[in-house]
Structure 1
């Protein structure tokens, strides 16, 4: 059963990103929102961890949050989404898990 995991907290503030990455299944997706988009800062350990994920795991980020944090240089595998696409994405997966 494929799960969409949603992270909103900075990867530099706690260990949620690492915990999430360890639990991702081969058909899961990861959506970065809010301060979690800081994980996409080029050269950061968090960004390296995300780029090393298996290709079968989809990686998404909310475009509005990327823009608010001036994150323009993204890894090629990151799909930037607007809010309507976010809602559609949630319907695509069997389960949605928000890492509060």
Structure 2
């Protein structure tokens, strides 16, 4: 089935699956591409993407503040013990900057 409950499942070799809330749960862009597995927190915000078959990354985690603004993206690379942490800076509801732990 190409469309499920108004959600696209297949298109030109790409496939994706959704959870009971209609959130993207799994995706594979095309043959040979990495598989992506998506997890969400209790607020339905993306909290983690696990990657299978990706050349560089094994997983990416996301953190949010009480206002729902994404504050951190944590990048885990294959074979590296320390993750890269991207910190997002906000002024009200506008993101005003970002900073990497690898290039302070």
Say yes or no: TM over 0.5. no
Larger proportion of helix = 1
TM-score normalized with structure 1 length: 0.28
TM-score normalized with structure 2 length: 0.27
Based on CA coordinates, which of the two structures has the bigger radius of gyration?
A: 2
Q: Which has the higher contact order (CA 8 A, sep 6+)?
A: 1
